[in-house]
Chains A and B, each alone.
Chain A
Amino acid sequence: MSTKDTITLDGIPQQAQGQGYFLTSLDELVGMGRKNSLWPLPFATSCCGIEFMATMAAHYDLAQFGSERMSFSPRQADMLLVMGTIAKKMGPILRQVYTQMAEPKWVIAVGACATSGGIFDSYSVLQGIDKILPVDVYVPGCPPRPEQILEGIDKLRDLVHNEPLRRRNSPEYQQLLKSYGIDIK
């Protein structure tokens, strides 16, 4: 579970400020904006997807992090949540969904199956989605409880917040995508 023991509210970015103005970096400002409105694309193929439904619903309330709008179009989403067993036949479809998402985009692998194939060590199951696309956060569990999914999303929000604006243009990032054979212009 979360290592934070108190809940803090997002304030304005801590930089130079005074009455009527404050100065901050663009990175900081954009990061704050992005992290508080991640649009999730749920890619649920099996049991873990059920846990995500609970995560979205009123009790666990994913909306508290600004993610209430499930985007079922990859073109309007920036957080891909892969929940469930991905059969090898599903692999190309998942990849297509990923490549259709606009940058910046992040991926969470929810559950043992999406992370590593889980109990399905079998000829027909992809042994972890990181074989076909880059993953930012892994949520362990079979299935993970909604709290764990929330924590995964919380971890991702930290990543999003601290991501430099230029990262997606950096040679390292291009190299990463290239190593997955994902073509970018």
Chain B
Amino acid sequence: MDIQEVIDRLSQRFEGHIGNFEESYGLTTIQVRRAYIFEVIKYLKEDLSFNFLTDLCAIHFPDHEDEMRFAMVYHIHNLFENLRLRLRVFLPESDLEIDTMTPLFASANWQERETYDFFGVKFKGHPNLVRIMNMDEMEVFPMRKEFPMEDGGRVDKDDRFFGRTIHNE
């Protein structure tokens, strides 16, 4: 089995719900409609032996229109044939919700909590969707682009020493 065969079988099975096949940096990427992501990954795992969920995370595109402002990315690996695949799902900011992968991969548990913690994506059916890294009292999702990365409480920083003024004066 090679990656082309995987793509063919996927396109056959989920016609109309997946698309935008592209290859970048040697990794094939497929875009999937939100409602089908669980089925697609289930099929990949159970029928095509993609038995390892390498990573999952979110991306924020603040400039996109609402429908495509967030994306979920799944990296999935077939360890038998050494095939990798990247799946991408766009999510609207107004309805930031997607199925959890925990029934398929136990490892998705903490990764989804992390994604929730940093981006605020809600995972439907997750057994324990609470913050994992940041303080529980935190009210924002810090990896969203509108959130300033620097701590506002810092008083000792002189912009001249950080290359933020034109002539460093």
Q: State the A residues within 8 Å of B (CB).
A: 88-89, 116-117, 121-125, 127, 131
Contact of A121 with B154 in the complex, beta carbons under 8 Å: yes
Chain A neighbourhood of B147, CB < 8 A = 123
| Tally of contacts, chain A with chain B, CB under 8 A | 30
Chain B neighbourhood of A122, CB < 8 A = 149-151
- For the A-B complex with A88-B134, A124-B142 known, give 13 more contacts whose Cβ atoms are closer than 8 Å: A89-B133, A89-B134, A116-B156, A117-B151, A121-B150, A122-B150, A122-B151, A123-B149, A124-B133, A124-B134, A127-B151, A127-B153, A127-B154
Q: For the complex, what is the distance from the CA of A116 to the CA of B153, rounded to whole Å?
A: 11
Chain A neighbourhood of B148, CB < 8 A = 123
Q: For the complex, what is the distance from the CA of A116 to the CA of B151, rounded to whole Å?
A: 12
Contact of B151 with A121 in the complex, beta carbons under 8 Å: yes
Is B164 close to A, CB under 8 A? no
Option from A116, A121, A123 in Cβ contact (under 8 Å) with B142 = A123
The 10 closest A-B pairs by CB, nearest first: A89-B135, A121-B150, A123-B142, A127-B154, A127-B153, A127-B151, A121-B154, A88-B135, A116-B156, A121-B151
Give residues 137-160 of B contacting A (CB, 8 Å).
Answer: 142, 147-151, 153-154, 156-157
List 18 A–B pairs whose Cβ atoms lie within 8 Å, in order of A's numbering: A88-B134, A89-B134, A89-B135, A117-B151, A121-B150, A121-B154, A121-B157, A122-B149, A123-B142, A123-B147, A123-B149, A123-B150, A123-B151, A124-B134, A125-B151, A127-B151, A127-B153, A131-B153
Nearest A residue to B147, CB-CB: A123
Chain B neighbourhood of A116, CB < 8 A = 154, 156
Q: For the complex, what is the distance from the CA of A131 to the CA of B142, rounded to whole Å?
A: 21
Chain B neighbourhood of A117, CB < 8 A = 151, 154
Nearest B residue to A89, CB-CB: B135
Chain B neighbourhood of A125, CB < 8 A = 151
Give residues 113-169 of B contacting A (CB, 8 Å).
Answer: 133-135, 142, 147-151, 153-154, 156-157
Nearest A residue to B136, CB-CB: A89
